[in-house]
Structure 1
């Protein structure tokens, strides 16, 4: 008799904006598990999850909006109580799984509740450490705030009781073991199959589609775009007078200071004004949603650039990889509240064969080798210098240097998420199930 294998993936956040947990769910389904995903609705999950017969979504109700007028501490307490009730109800309502795979952060109330339910059901508890919740809280509340300290205690305490722990870097694995006695296996983020290089025709079709909603991509001719043109015989080519396409993605949070990019673009604008024949105009596309988006979009509107334009679209899940694959350079401003996680956006960009300019911090060397598969900068001036060097003579001159980086990324593209997951995660999750 065949035993039904079940897994429960818990994301106390927008499932559609949690790509790593979506990848976990897809890999589990590919390996024969029936998967229940618990989280919040909002952004659309990847279509492969939506159409999978083995994956079921269980969306939690958000806390009532009227409590937002209450003082911060009371608001947080009531929100946690609301989340706890719905999470407990859902965990007991769905079929008992072999294990619960929980995203951290957030830690409260996810870790204690999932530990409790796992004990009741005699199921395994697995934690996937993306970062530390207490360091993220510390960015806004301060490291000594009572909520920051409570989060620290809960992560340290319940992390020890998980039967399986995964984390995103070797540095985090060492930190978990040294400080909390948690033994975590490093499972590096790897690009999913959807993050790949695309054809020139696919790029053209994407720009035509984006041009319907964002004028920055459009052209005066209906069959052309700002970056590509189509001839009478149907052939497509890149325009010789196209701007350089710079791409970044963000959650618009405190751990990404986009004023660094804006300051660098100020310097690029100045150099382009003085040496117009040496540098192309720039189109900078920044995707994502988050709490600081309005702040930065208002700041962008104060700029009066003539040669630099910024567009901040929200893209369909299927269009985002295509945009990355169409760009000339990626930028990452992720610094990490703990200094121990790595930006998935870089992983996605590498999967598409896009070289990246990333702000440096402690463990970034686990992903980027400066001058080989990417470039690391420290300041806005440093970033400006790298942008000027990268786009000097664009699109014809200096192309060999740009292709050098793309060739280096072909090795990285050979190992995708599911293959890495099967090697590292599957043996641990399937043990004794």
Structure 2
């Protein structure tokens, strides 16, 4: 380990010297470098940050991996420059801990060199996690550039590592120590929940401002005509979308999907009266057992239908326009919130979400959705919500009506109220 530490010090010194030699002139006051040591396309919150900064005329360097294509608004914005870094392949020689140390050293040198080549920023806005080694590298870069370091805390990296290694593993303990130590060196901090804000202060003495995830303006209810075009296109490939249910329509020539029909004379689209419910789940599966919760609940619900209760004949589990969303996100720390639920709420889509510690900051039980603890409880909720479907009665409709009436803040409004004043007061 001593040899590895010496190699790291020499490597960082060499990279720092080379980068400073190639150092450019300042790129203008107010420039911000937004850093993600991960896939930019799968980092919507940091893309939103970049777009908000650009909207206020700031030059933005968006730095990260380009494994997935970023949003078209980001790609087409003239104030945003994307700087791609390559995702290093792990070394396949030696013990796992040795491979990990070598990868961290290589990432540190790569990130330091890349950041010191860009135009001088006034601020470095860093996503955490992943924070090892990005927090330390960003701090060094800010010392060189005399920039302000802002960390946006989405979760704790060490709690995510503990899902694989266990909380008492040496790597997890080192990551926990590292995160607390270097996290304190930041100038400003944002976080995603009030629970995380309190935890950062109590355990790390880090003062943060809560910036809740909010839906972007393009998350909204899909017009019925657009839904119909989507369903008809999907019906060409997927059997559940085909018109195979008896409807009360008197227009035999209407263009039909399983969910909608369009009058071929006037182009008017309506939802079919006998349509099935459309259910989606748009969360990242962390364990096979998470998905089994949904499958078990649907099996119980299917049995409920087969027992002769008059309910919808089919529940389609797909991604798309929907009647209900199911969230199986389990926070590793209990302090972050599922962003996909934020997007669902932006579309006025009610949600059933699995319980964890701070979920109440987003999902209000019996107001905009329901919270469940296991597959049995989810199955009961599905029965209750779809009991009168598709009539405009019952809790499912009330949840959607509450979401429509709530007039939720969008990301741009929330960002302008929370982040913009901080940047302005420091210039």
Task: Please tell me the TM-score bracket, short chain as reference.
Answer: 0.7 to 0.9
How well do the aligned residues superpose, as a CA RMSD in angstroms?
A: 2.1
Partners of 1:349 and 1:109 lie apart in 2 by: 33
Partners of 2:212 and 2:288 lie apart in 1 by: 21
> Residue 219 and residue 81 in structure 1: after superposition, are their counterparts in 2 closer, same or farther (change >3 A)?
farther
Match of 1:425 among 392, 410, 419: 419
Structure 1 counterpart of 2:44: 19
Partners of 1:205 and 1:52 lie apart in 2 by: 29
Partners of 2:389 and 2:423 lie apart in 1 by: 49
- Is the aligned partner of 1:228 residue 2:260? yes
- Is the aligned partner of 1:283 residue 2:283? no
Residue 64 of structure 1, CA deviation:
3.0
- Is the aligned partner of 1:31 residue 2:56? yes
Partners of 1:374 and 1:421 lie apart in 2 by: 25
- Is the aligned partner of 1:101 residue 2:133? no
Partners of 1:262 and 1:187 lie apart in 2 by: 34
Equivalent residue runs for 1:14-413 within 5 Å? 14-64=39-89, 67-68=91-92, 71-212=95-236, 214-219=238-243, 223-233=255-265, 234-254=267-287, 257-275=290-308, 277-285=310-318, 323=320, 326-396=321-391, 399-413=393-407
Q: TM-score, normalised by structure 1?
A: 0.86
Partners of 1:131 and 1:207 lie apart in 2 by: 37
**Could you list the runs of 4 or more consecutive aligned residues of structure 1 that deviate by over 6 angstroms after TM superposition?**
none
Residue 81 of structure 1, CA deviation:
2.5
Structure 1 SS opposite 2:290 = coil
Structure 2 SS opposite 1:249 = coil
Q: TM-score, normalised by structure 2?
A: 0.87
Partners of 1:392 and 1:173 lie apart in 2 by: 40
Indicate the structure whose relative CO is greater, using CA pairs within 8 Å and at least 6 residues apart.
Answer: 1
- Contact 1:111/1:154, CA 8 A, preserved across alignment: no
- Contact 2:29/2:122, CA 8 A, preserved across alignment: no
In the alignment of these two chains, the number of paired residues is 392
Residue 131 of structure 1, CA deviation:
0.4
Post-superposition CA distance 1:301-358 (Å, at most 9, x none): xxxxxxxxxxxxxxxxxxxxxx2xx210011111200001111111111110001111
> Residue 80 and residue 330 in structure 1: after superposition, are their counterparts in 2 closer, same or farther (change >3 A)?
same
Where does structure 1 lack aligned partners over 5 or more consecutive residues? 287-322
- Contact 1:255/1:337, CA 8 A, preserved across alignment: no
Structure 2 SS opposite 1:403 = helix
Max radius of gyration: which structure? Answer: 2
Partners of 1:148 and 1:7 lie apart in 2 by: 31
Partners of 2:239 and 2:29 lie apart in 1 by: 51
Post-superposition CA distance 1:213-248 (Å, at most 9, x none): 545434589953332222212222222332211111
Where does structure 2 lack aligned partners over 5 or more consecutive residues? 1-26, 245-252
> Residue 42 and residue 256 in structure 1: after superposition, are their counterparts in 2 closer, same or farther (change >3 A)?
farther
